[in-house]
Amino acid sequence: MLRRVHRGFFVFFTVLVLFGASQACAQTAQNPARLEVDLREAPKHIFHAKLGLPVSVGPLTVVYPKWIPGEHSPTGPIVDLVGLKITAGGKEVPWRRDDVEMYAFHVDVPAGVDTLNLSYDYLSPAEPTGSRERPSSTAKLAVLNWYMVTLYPLGPKTDDLTYVAKLRLPAGWKYGTALPVAKESPEAIEFAPVSLTTLIDSPVISGMYLRHIDLSPGQAPPHTVHVAADGSAPLEATPVEVQHLRQLVAETGALFGARHYRRYDFLLTLSDRMPPDGVEHHESSDNRTEEAYFLDPELFESSELLSHEFTHSWNGKYRRPAGLATTDYQTPMKGELLWVYEGLTQYYGIMLAARSGMMPPRMFREYLASTTAYLNDRPGRTWRDLQDTATATQILYSTPPEGSSWRRSVDFYDEGTLIWLEADTVIRKQTGDKKSLDDFCRRFYGGENTPPKVVPYTFEDVVEGLNEIAPYDWRTFFTERLKSHGPGAPLGGLENSGWKLVFTDTQNEYEHVNELSTQDIELQFSLGVLLHAPGGEDSDHILDVIPGSPAANAGLAPGMRLIAVNGRKWAPDILRDALRQAKTSKDPIELLAENGDFFETYRIDYHGGERYPHLEPISGKTDLLSEIAKTRAPAVPLPTNY
C-alpha cells in the first residue's frame, strides 16, 4: 500500500515540475553543462564538484540521479550529496528541496542570468554501509561514477543533455575510462562533450598503482583492462591469466558475432577495502574484487565477474528490457524481465568464463552444483515465485542474509542460469543438435557492429527470437518456470545435459574459496545453517537457518550468536568435527547460542554427517554440459610481453 501511494505521488509530481523545468533549462550541444570534479581529496573520501548549468529565467528543477542503471533500484546516494550552493553572477541563488521527492531541488532563475553555478561535494563511505552504497575510494585509488557528482535539469531526456567534464586527480595518479578524452595536462583531464547518458555510463578508475593491459593487441575495437590496487604487487597478472582474459574477448566475438561499442574498458579495482561488486556499462564495466585476484589462482578461477559484466554490453546495455530502458534517472524502472537481463548474463558469464579457460571445468561444475543446491532448497519458493524476485528487485538487493531462505533474494540470477541451461538443451534437442542458445544470442544480440545504442525488448520479442531458432512453446516454458512454487528448482537443464546433483562429505570447492573470502560457513545441507566465522563484524553470527532443517527444528534462529559446540568454544573446524562425530553417535549435537541477553543450549538430533553439493554424470547420458562450456574461438597464444 505504501508503494502504491508513493508511486501516485511521484507521477503527480513529475507532471507538475516537467512544465516548469523545460522553461528554464537552456542546455544545448553548443551550450553544454560544464562539470568539474576534483578527486584530490578522494583518499579522505570526499569528492568535490562544480557544475555550470546553462539556464533561462524562470522556475527550474534540478535533480540528483535516483534510479541507477545496472543497480535496477532507486539507489542514487542522495544522503551523501552535501554542501550544495548555487550562485549566479557572484550572488547566491536560494534553492528549496522538494518536500516529497528528496532528489529534486527547486530554483527560481533570476532575470538576466544565463548560467547557474552549482558547487557541492559527494561523501564516499569509508566502509561498506548497510545500504547498497559502496565505498568509492581508498587511500590509494578511487572509482568515479559520474552519477555521484552530477545534477541535471529535470525534463529533457538525458540523451539530449550535453556535458563537458573535467577531472583533477591526486598528484601521480593514473586513470582509465571509456570516456573520450579531449585533452590532458598535468593539472586536469578534459573530456570530449558527450550526452549525460554517456557520461554516467562511463566511470573512471584512478589510482597511484594502476596499469593498463591490452586484451586485443593489434585488433579493432580495442579492449583494455585498467587495474588499480592499493599496492603494486596485486597488479601482477600472470601470462596465463592475461591469455585467458584475451581468450574471453575472442569468445564473445565467437558468441555474438558483432560488438556494440567503440572500445571496451574493464575497470578492475583490486582492494580488500571495497566490497566485491560489478556494474555493467556499454563500453566499460566497474569491477571490484579481492586484492589477491591475480595472485591467488583459486580466486581467479572461481570468479565469473569480468565475463558477467562484459556480457552485459550485449545483454542489458545494447538490448535492454523495455521496463529498464528509461530516458532519464528519475523515471522508475521495472525489473520484470531481469531473469533475461541478469539470468541469461549469469548463464553466459559462467559459460564464457569456462570457454575462455578462466574457470576450469572442475570449478565450473562445483559452481553449478552449489547454486543448484541452494536454489533447490529454498523454502521461500513456496510463497514467492521467481517472477516476483525480478518484479521486486528494487527492494531485494539490500536485504540482510537473516531469513533469506524464506524471504528469497535476487534469485533470478542463479535460477536464470538453470532455466537458460534448460532452454539451451531444448534448442539442441528440437533441432537435432544443429542449433543452440548461441544461435539465439547471435541473432538477438549480434547483427551489425554498431556504436552504443539501446534496442529495447519485451517478453514477446524473446519468445519470438527463440522461435526463430527452434519452434517450441517458449511462452509456456518460461511462464511455468517463472510462476512455479516448487517443490525444488528447475533441474531439467542439468539433467538434459547429463548431470545430477549429489551430496558427499567433501566440501564443495567453489564454496571453499567463497568461505575463505567471506568467512561464511555453509552448512545448509546438513544442519541447515549458514553462519559467519569468528572474527570481524558479523563474528559468530547465525546468518540463516533453513525452515524445516534439523537446526530450525532444534530451535535455532537467524540472528543468534553461536558460542560453543558440545561444550567447547566454537570454531568452524570444531563444528565440522562435531558433525563427523555425530555420524556414529546417538547423542545430539549441543550448540550453546546467545539470543540477545540470554543463553540457551540447543540439542540437534542430526546424524547425517557433513553434506556438500557436487555434480555427478548420469550414466548413459551424453555430457552436453562440457560441450556447451567448450572453447569456440581460435586459441589465443600465451603472451610474453604485456
CB 268 within 8 A of CB 226: yes
Query: How many CB atoms sit inside 10 A of residue 224's CB?
Result: 18
CB 493 within 8 A of CB 472: no
Nearer to Zn ion, 343 or 357 (CB): 343
Nearer to Zn ion, 286 or 402 (CB): 286
Q: CB of 392: closest distance to Zn ion in angstroms?
A: 17
Nearer to Zn ion, 345 or 391 (CB): 345
Q: CB of 312: closest distance to Zn ion in angstroms?
A: 6
Nearer to Zn ion, 243 or 345 (CB): 345
638 DSSP assignment: P
| CA 152 distance to own-chain centroid | 25
CB 88 within 8 A of CB 24: no
Q: Residue 630 corresponds to which cell in the numbers above?
A: 567448450
Q: CB of 202: closest distance to Zn ion in angstroms?
A: 18
Q: CB of 268: closest distance to Zn ion in angstroms?
A: 16
Nearer to Zn ion, 150 or 345 (CB): 345
If residue 84 lies in a helix (H) or strand (E), which one and from where to where? strand 81-88
Alpha-carbon distances, residue 272 vs 285, 293, 314, 440, 518 (angstroms): 19, 10, 30, 39, 11
CB 513 within 8 A of CB 298: yes
Secondary structure class of 246 (helix, strand, coil) = helix
Let me know if 123 is exposed, middle or buried by CB neighbors in 10 A (0-12, 13-18, 19+).
middle
Q: CB of 377: closest distance to Zn ion in angstroms?
A: 24
Nearer to Zn ion, 338 or 466 (CB): 338
Q: Residue 192 corresponds to which cell in the numbers above?
A: 570530449
Q: CB of 70: closest distance to Zn ion in angstroms?
A: 7
Q: CB of 56: closest distance to Zn ion in angstroms?
A: 41
Nearer to Zn ion, 302 or 345 (CB): 345
Nearer to Zn ion, 27 or 345 (CB): 345
Which residues, 327 to 356, sit near Zn ion by CB under 5 A?
342, 345
Nearer to Zn ion, 74 or 555 (CB): 74
Q: What CA–CA distance (Å, rounded) separates 188 from 263? A: 23
Query: How many CB atoms sit inside 10 A of residue 579's CB?
Result: 21
| Region class of 498: left (phi > 0), else alpha (psi between -120 and 50), else beta | left
**Residue tagged 534469485 (cell numbers):** 411
Cα end-to-end span (Å), the chain? 57
637 DSSP assignment: P
Which residues, 303 to 332, sit near Zn ion by CB under 5 A?
none
Q: CB of 280: closest distance to Zn ion in angstroms?
A: 6
Phi and psi of 2, rounded to 5°?
Answer: -55, -45
Phi and psi of 120, rounded to 5°?
Answer: -165, 170
What single string gives the DSSP state of each residue in 523-552?
ETTTT-EEEE-SSSTTTTBEEEE-TTSHHH
Q: CB of 345: closest distance to Zn ion in angstroms?
A: 5
Phi and psi of 366, rounded to 5°?
Answer: -65, -40
Q: What CA–CA distance (Å, rounded) separates 286 from 265? A: 9
Nearer to Zn ion, 274 or 469 (CB): 274
* Residues facing 25 on adjacent strands: 55
Which residues, 194 to 213, sit near Zn ion by CB under 5 A?
none
Q: CB of 359: closest distance to Zn ion in angstroms?
A: 17
Nearer to Zn ion, 342 or 415 (CB): 342
Query: How many CB atoms sit inside 10 A of residue 181's CB?
Result: 12
Alpha-carbon distances, residue 611 vs 579, 580, 588 (angstroms): 10, 10, 17
> Amino acid identity, residue 424?
D
Pairing mode of beta strands 189-191, 104-109: unpaired
Q: CB of 65: closest distance to Zn ion in angstroms?
A: 19
Secondary structure class of 153 (helix, strand, coil) = strand
Nearer to Zn ion, 284 or 345 (CB): 345
Q: How many residues bind Zn ion (CB under 5 A)?
A: 2
Q: What CA–CA distance (Å, rounded) separates 549 from 604? A: 10
Q: CB of 279: closest distance to Zn ion in angstroms?
A: 8
Nearer to Zn ion, 202 or 206 (CB): 202
Q: Residue 492 corresponds to which cell in the numbers above?
A: 531439467
Nearer to Zn ion, 348 or 612 (CB): 348
Q: CB of 209: closest distance to Zn ion in angstroms?
A: 27
Exposure string over 411-433, b if 16+ CB within 10 A, otherwise e: bbbbbbbbbbbbbbbbbbeeeee
Q: CB of 240: closest distance to Zn ion in angstroms?
A: 26
Contact residues toward Zn ion (CB under 5 A) are 342, 345
